[in-house]
Amino acid sequence: MLSIVGLSKRHPGALRPLFSELRFAIGTGEVVALVGESGVGKSTLLNCIAGLELADAGEIRVGPDALDMLRLDETARAALRATRIGFVFQAFHVLPTLTVAQNIAIPLLLSGVTPAEHPARIESLLLRVGLAGFGPRWPATLSGGELQRVAIARALVHRPALILADEPTGNLDPRTADEVLTVLLERVRDQHAGALIVTHSQHVAQCCDRILTLTPDGLE
């Protein structure tokens, strides 16, 4: 689902690269944790994979057709994100002015799924993340755990090949974090997607299939 080869990145003006010659892959249904100290470049790596920042060299191939993110222009990268990648963030980022169902429908609209399919897909995902009947509700009426479940549903609704999650449980209490993590891992595996989860939590990392540690010298 994801293949990284020779990936290097240096911030403008920095003396040494943030990372260089990174190489790893994530397979179908595989969940990989990315850990490392603060400032080592985990979020930058995630941004590079998503095409939000440009790496200086290397290849980032996403999805079954293995398009190279680095060779695409801005619009094509956006299209690739819309069809192949799902995102889960620490800060939930659920749009407060749209209902839960509308929030989840965004990736369907962006990836061109026919509107007739939307209600069934949204209802089905809400059921699977434990929020059946929450479609018409406004985000302001939801708890943190519920908001993150909405975010997970949104990340999966368009059946992406890859899920990128940045500290998905960072804003939640341990019990809610456990529930949310379980939902996330189950749904990713259900859909045979790959997932890369950036986390500082050992517990989260332990729940993943594999752990990658990013250090100033590269991946371990």
Partner 1 sequence: MTTLAWWLIRAQFLSRRTATALSMLAIALGVSLGYAIHLINDAALADFSRAMKSVQGEPDAIIVPRDSAGHVPLALIDEIAGDESVALVAPVIETRVRLGRVPTAVKLIGIDVFSAALLMPTLLPREGAATSGGIFDGGLYASPSLLDDQGLRVGAGATVIRGESRWETHIAGDLPAMAAGEALLVADIAWVQAHFGPREGVGELRVRLMPGSHAEAWRAVWAKRLPPGLDIRAAADNAARISNISRAYRVNLNVLAMVALLTGAFLVFATQLTAVAQRSTQFALLGVLGLPPRMRLLQVLFEGLAIGLPGSALGLLLGYGMAVGFTRVMGGDLGGGFFAASTPTIAPELLPGLGFFILGCGASLMGALYPAWLNRIQPLAQALKTGFAQRPPGQASPAIHGRRLMLLAVAAAIPLLISLPAIDDLPLAGYAAIALVLVLGIAAAPVATNLAFGAMARAALPAPLRIAVQNVLQAPLMAQVAASGLIVSFALTVSMVTMVASFRTALDQWLDAVLPAPHYMRSKGLPLPAELLAAIERPDAPFARIERMATGSLSLDPRRPPAALLVREIDRADPGARLPFTGAVQAAPEGRITVWVSEALQEVHGLRTGQALHLPLLGRDVEVHIGGVWRDYARQFGAVVMSTGDYRALGGRFEVTDLALWPRPGSEDAARRWLATEAARHGIESAESGDIRRISLSIFDKSFAVTYALEAAAMLIGLFGLAVTLAASVWLRARELATLSALGFDRAMLARAVVFEGALIALVGLALGLAAGIAVGAILTHVVNPQAFHWRMPLHVPWNQVLPIALATLAAGMLASRFAARQATRLPAAQVLAGAQ
Find out whether 19 and 27 touch, Cβ atoms under 8 Å. no
The interface region with partner 1, picked from 55-63, 91-99, 199-207, 210-218 by CB under 8 A, is 91-99
The interface region with partner 1, picked from 33-41, 71-79, 173-181, 188-196 by CB under 8 A, is 71-79
Phi then psi for 145, rounded to 5 degrees? -65, -40
Closest separation in Å from C-beta 54 to partner 1: 11
* Residue span 143-162 as binding mask against partner 1, x where in contact by CB under 8 A, dash where not: -----------x--------
CA dihedral in degrees (113, 2, 182, 158; nearest 10)?
0
Chain residues 176-215 in contact with partner 1, contact rule CB under 8 A: none
The half-sphere exposure of 100 on its side-chain side, counting CA atoms within 13 A, is 27
Find out whether 166 and 89 touch, Cβ atoms under 8 Å. yes
Closest separation in Å from C-beta 120 to partner 1: 17
95 binds partner 1 (CB under 8 A): yes
Closest separation in Å from C-beta 210 to partner 1: 25
Contacts within 8 Å (CB) and 24+ apart, 67-72 = none
DSSP assignment of 102-140 = HHHHHHHHHTT--GGGHHHHHHHHHHHTT-TT-TT--GG
Binding site for partner 1 (CB under 8 A): 43, 47, 50, 52-53, 74-75, 78-83, 85, 87, 89, 91, 93, 95, 97-98, 102, 105-107, 109-111, 115, 154, 171
